[in-house]
C-alpha cells in the first residue's frame, strides 16, 4: 500500500471515530469518550498533514509512478510550481481542503473552551472531514499508482503557472473550510438550544469571510492578468460559486449582531450558516465535477453522487434540527423602531440574500433547463449584469444610509440632519461627472460612491468624538480599539465602496481597439503612443516564447516598455497561451494582448481599463477592516481598559 494512501486511510478512520465519539460523548455525557474523540481528532489532523507532505514530496522528486503527479507535473517544471501543482487537479485540491480543515479542527480545539458546544461543533467538523477523507480514499485518490513509470509527466497547465494561481486555491479553501466550522457551530448551538454559538461564532465568521474575500480577490486578479481577455469577472459558474458563500456570510456577519443584541433572527442565522456551507460544498462540487461547463472546471464525473448525497444529508439534518428545536428557535422581535440600525440590517440581508439566490439561480439554471427541455442553456454576463446591477446600487446606497442609523431607535429629524452633507456630496459628484461628460451610469456610480463615502467619514468623526466623551477618554486610539468591531466594519465598507466604483469604471468607461503596429511606426491610442520595436524569441525545455517589445509614450516621455507575449508549452499537447502585459497608473490600466504577427508588424488588442486598481485596493482595505475587527480582546484589553471590563 502506498504510504500516502495509508495516511489518508488512517486519517479517515480516526476522523470517523472522532466524529462518533464527540457526538456520543455529548449525548451520553461521557467525558472519557470526549477525551478519546479529541485525541482522535489530533491524530486525524496529523495523518492528513502527513498525506499532504507525502504528495508534495512526490511532486518535488518527480515520482511519476503516481498518476496524479504524472498528470500535473513534468521534469522541466520549476520547483516552486511543482509544489503548487499539489492542488492543480481535483484530487489534490480535495486533499488541500481536508488539510486546511484539519488545521481548523486543531485551532478550534486549542482556542475554544472544553464544553458541550465545542465538542458538538467538533462532531460537525469531523463529520465534514470524514466526508472529504472518504472521497480521497475512494473516488478521488491522489495516490493512485500507474502500472509503469513514465519518463516524464504531462506537465502543469500553463495558466496555473502564475503567482496569482498559487495564492487563489489556498486562500479560497481557507474560506471554504472555515464555513464548515461556522456551520458546525450553528447546528451544535441549535442542537443544544444555546445562543452562545453566535458569540463564539463571530470570530470564525469574520475569519472565514476574510479568506473568502482574499480567495475571490486572487481569482479575479488571476483572470485579469493571466486569462488575457481584459476582464476579471465573467460570471462563470465557478466564479459564481465562490461569490455565493461570500454573500450569505456577509449577511450572517450582520444578522448575528441582531441575535446578540435582541435574541432575534435565530432561524434566519441558522439558515444563513447552512446556506453558506451548502454553497461552499456546491462550489467545490461544480469546480470538480464539470457538471456545468466552465473554463475553470476540472471535470470528474465520479464525484457527482457523493457530493449530491452529502448536500442532501446536510439539508435533511438542518431541517430536522430546525423542526426538533422549534421551541428554542422562536425569536424575539427584531426592531424597536423602523428608524434604526437593526432595520437597515434587515434590508442589507434582503439585498445580499436576494443577490445570492439570483446568482445561484443563474448558475444552476443550465441544469434546470436540461431537466425541463432536454438541453443545457448558457447563462452569460448579460443576465447577471441586468439583475445584479440594481441590487448592487441599492446595497451601495444602503451602505451610506445604514451607518447614519444608531442602534435601537432614532428621530427622523436627527437623521435628516446627518444626511445633509452626504446628499450635497451626491449632487456635486453627479453634476461634476456630467459636466466632465462621463456616461450617466458612471456619473451615478460616482455620485453614490461620494454619498456613501461622506456618510462614513462623517460618522467616523462623530462616533469617535461621542465615544470619547462617553468613555471619558481623550485617546481616540483607545476608542477605536474598544469599538474595533464597528470601525473594522466601517473600513470594510470603504473597501467595498472602492470595489464598487472600480467595477463601474471598468464596465462603463473601458475603451478598446484591435490595432496593427508596424515596426518603429508610432500609433496613438487615447493619450498614449505605442511603438513596436521588434520581437524576441526564447526557447527553453519548458516552453517557446515570442515577446513583442512595445514602447509606451505619453507626449515626449517614455513611460515603459511592455512585453506582451505568446507562450507555447512543450507539454500538455503544445498548449498556447497569451501573456498580457499591463502598464498601471493609479486610476487606469493600459492593457495589451498580443494576437500574433511577425518581425515587421504585430496585431495587438489594446484596452484602457479605468479605475480597475481601485478594485484591488478595495479588496485589501476590506481584508484589513476584517482583520481589525478580529483583534482579540486579550490583545487590546491591557491598553484599552484600566482593569478588566472597566472603561479607561
Partner 1 sequence: MKIRSLIFIFFLISISSALTVDDVEKDVMCVCGCGKVLENCECATAERMRKEIGEMIAKGMSKEEIISELQATYGKEVLVNPPKEGVFLGLWYYPVAITIAGVSIVYVLLKRRGGKWYGDPDETINVDEEYLER
Residues forming the site for partner 1 (CB under 8 A)? 113, 196, 199-200, 202, 228-229, 231, 234, 236-237, 257, 260-263, 293-295, 297, 332-338, 343, 346-347, 350, 353-354, 357-358, 361-362, 365, 368-369, 372-373, 375-383, 387, 391, 407-408, 482-486, 578, 593, 595, 633, 637, 640-641, 644-645
Closest distance of CB 285 from partner 1, Å: 16
Residue found by looking up cell 488545521 in the block: 103
Closest distance of CB 607 from partner 1, Å: 12
Closest distance of CB 626 from partner 1, Å: 14
- Distance CA(561)–CA(549), nearest Å, equals 6
Q: Which is nearer to partner 1, 196 or 572 (CB)?
A: 196
Q: Which is nearer to partner 1, 31 or 293 (CB)?
A: 293
What are the beta bridge partners of residue 562?
Answer: 550
Closest distance of CB 53 from partner 1, Å: 35
**Going by C-beta distance under 8 Å and a sequence separation of 6 or more, which residues neighbour residue 39?**
none
Closest distance of CB 236 from partner 1, Å: 7
What are φ and ψ of residue 138, in 5° steps? -125, -90
Q: Which is nearer to partner 1, 10 or 593 (CB)?
A: 593
Closest distance of CB 220 from partner 1, Å: 14
Residue found by looking up cell 423602531 in the block: 337
Closest distance of CB 310 from partner 1, Å: 25
Q: Which is nearer to partner 1, 150 or 406 (CB)?
A: 406
Q: Which is nearer to partner 1, 135 or 503 (CB)?
A: 503
Relative to beta strand 581-585, strand 576-579 is unpaired
Q: Which is nearer to partner 1, 14 or 609 (CB)?
A: 609
Measured in whole angstroms, the distance separating CA 642 from the mean position of its chain's CA atoms is 38
Q: Which is nearer to partner 1, 198 or 498 (CB)?
A: 198
> Interhelix angle for 612-629 vs 196-222, to 10°?
160
Characterize 477-495 residue by residue with b for buried, 16 or more Cβ atoms within 10 angstroms of its Cβ, and e for exposed: ebbbbbbbebbbbbbbbbb
Closest distance of CB 510 from partner 1, Å: 12
**Going by C-beta distance under 8 Å and a sequence separation of 6 or more, which residues neighbour residue 122?**
18, 22, 37, 38, 41, 105, 108, 109, 184
For the chain, the farthest-separated pair of C-alpha atoms sits apart, in whole angstroms, at 82
DSSP assignments along 435-487, one per residue: HTT--HHHHHHHHHHHHHHHHHHHHHHHHHHHHHHHHT---HHHHHHHTHHHH
Residue found by looking up cell 484530487 in the block: 91
Q: Which is nearer to partner 1, 56 or 630 (CB)?
A: 630
Q: Which is nearer to partner 1, 36 or 300 (CB)?
A: 300
DSSP 226: I
Q: Which is nearer to partner 1, 146 or 411 (CB)?
A: 411
Number of Cβ within a 10 Å radius of residue 337: 14
Closest distance of CB 625 from partner 1, Å: 15
Cell of 250: 456577509
H/E run at residue 585: strand 581-585
Closest distance of CB 449 from partner 1, Å: 23
Nearest to 54 by CA among 24, 11, 22, 113: 11
- Distance CA(75)–CA(152), nearest Å, equals 6
Amino acid at each position: 500500500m502506498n504510504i500516502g494512501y495509508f495516511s489518508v486511510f488512517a486519517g479517515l478512520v480516526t476522523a470517523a471515530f472522532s466524529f462518533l465519539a464527540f457526538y456520543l460523548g455529548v449525548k451520553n455525557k461521557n467525558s472519557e469518550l470526549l477525551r478519546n474523540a479529541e485525541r482522535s481528532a489530533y491524530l486525524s489532523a496529523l495523518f492528513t498533514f502527513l498525506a499532504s507532505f507525502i504528495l508534495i514530496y512526490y511532486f518535488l522528486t518527480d515520482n511519476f509512478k503516481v498518476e496524479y503527479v504524472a498528470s500535473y507535473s513534468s521534469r522541466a517544471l520549476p520547483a516552486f510550481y511543482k509544489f503548487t501543482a499539489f492542488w492543480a487537479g481535483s484530487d489534490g485540491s480535495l486533499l488541500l481542503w481536508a488539510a486546511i480543515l484539519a488545521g481548523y479542527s486543531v485551532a478550534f480545539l486549542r482556542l475554544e473552551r472544553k464544553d458541550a458546544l465545542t465538542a458538538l461543533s467538533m462532531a460537525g467538523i469531523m463529520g465534514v472531514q470524514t466526508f472529504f477523507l472518504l472521497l480521497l480514499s475512494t473516488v478521488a485518490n491522489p495516490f493512485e499508482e500507474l502500472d509503469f513509470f513514465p519518463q516524464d509527466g504531462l506537465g502543469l497547465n500553463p495558466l496555473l503557472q502564475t503567482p496569482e494561481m498559487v495564492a487563489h486555491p489556498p486562500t479560497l479553501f481557507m474560506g471554504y473550510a472555515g464555513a464548515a466550522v461556522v456551520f458546525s457551530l450553528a447546528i451544535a448551538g441549535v442542537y443544544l438550544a444555546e445562543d452562545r454559538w453566535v458569540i463564539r461564532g463571530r470570530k470564525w465568521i469574520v475569519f472565514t469571510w476574510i479568506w473568502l474575500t482574499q480567495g475571490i480577490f486572487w481569482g479575479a486578479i488571476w483572470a485579469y492578468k493571466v486569462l488575457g481577455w481584459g476582464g476579471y469577472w465573467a460570471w462563470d459558474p465557478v466564479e459564481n460559486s465562490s461569490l455565493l458563500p461570500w454573500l450569505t456570510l456577509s449577511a450572517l456577519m450582520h444578522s448575528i449582531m441582531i441575535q446578540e443584541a435582541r435574541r432575534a433572527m435565530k432561524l434566519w442565522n441558522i439558515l444563513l450558516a447552512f446556506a453558506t456551507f451548502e454553497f461552499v460544498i456546491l462550489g467545490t462540487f461544480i469546480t470538480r465535477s464539470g457538471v456545468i461547463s466552465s473554463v475553470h472546471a476540472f471535470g470528474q464525473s465520479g464525484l457527482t453522487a457523493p457530493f449530491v448525497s452529502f448536500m442532501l444529508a446536510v439539508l435533511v439534518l438542518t431541517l430536522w434540527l430546525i423542526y426538533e428545536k422549534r421551541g428554542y428557535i422562536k425569536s424575539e422581535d427584531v426592531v424597536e423602531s423602523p428608524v434604526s440600525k437593526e432595520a437597515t440590517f434587515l434590508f442589507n440581508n434582503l439585498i445580499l440574500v436576494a443577490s445570492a439566490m439570483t446568482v445561484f439561480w443563474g448558475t444552476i439554471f443550465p441544469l434546470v433547463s436540461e431537466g425541463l427541455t432536454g438541453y443545457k442553456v448558457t447563462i452569460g454576463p448579460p443576465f447577471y449584469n441586468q439583475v445584479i446591477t440594481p441590487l448592487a446600487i441599492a446595497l451601495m446606497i444602503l451602505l451610506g444610509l445604514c451607518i447614519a442609523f444608531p442602534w435601537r431607535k432614532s428621530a427622523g429629524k436627527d437623521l435628516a440632519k446627518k444626511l445633509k452633507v452626504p446628499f450635497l456630496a451626491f449632487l456635486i459628484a453627479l453634476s461634476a461627472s456630467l459636466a466632465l461628460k462621463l456616461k450617466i451610469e458612471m456619473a451615478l456610480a460616482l455620485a453614490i460612491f461620494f454619498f456613501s463615502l461622506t456618510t462614513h467619514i462623517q460618522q467616523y468623526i462623530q462616533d469617535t468624538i461621542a465615544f470619547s466623551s462617553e468613555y471619558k477618554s481623550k485617546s481616540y486610539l483607545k476608542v477605536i480599539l474598544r469599538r474595533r468591531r464597528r470601525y473594522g466594519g466601517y473600513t470594510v465598507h470603504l473597501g467595498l465602496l472602492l470595489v464598487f466604483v472600480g467595477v463601474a469604471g471598468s464596465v462603463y468607461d473601458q475603451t478598446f481597439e484591435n490595432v496593427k503596429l508596424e515596426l518603429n511606426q508610432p500609433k496613438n491610442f487615447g493619450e498614449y503612443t505605442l511603438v513596436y520595436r521588434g520581437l524576441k524569441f526564447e526557447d527553453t525545455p519548458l516552453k517557446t516564447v515570442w515577446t513583442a517589445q512595445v514602447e509606451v509614450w505619453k507626449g515626449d516621455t517614455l513611460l515603459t516598455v511592455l512585453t506582451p507575449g505568446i507562450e507555447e508549452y512543450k507539454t500538455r499537447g503544445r498548449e498556447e497561451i497569451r501573456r498580457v502585459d499591463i502598464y498601471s497608473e493609479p486610476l487606469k490600466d493600459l492593457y495589451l494582448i498580443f494576437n500574433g504577427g511577425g518581425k515587421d508588424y504585430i496585431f495587438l488588442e489594446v484596452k484602457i481599463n479605468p479605475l480597475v486598481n481601485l478594485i484591488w485596493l478595495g479588496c485589501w482595505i476590506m481584508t484589513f477592516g476584517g482583520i481589525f475587527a478580529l483583534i482579540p480582546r486579550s490583545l487590546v484589553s491591557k491598553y484599552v481598559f484600566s482593569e478588566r471590563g472597566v472603561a479607561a
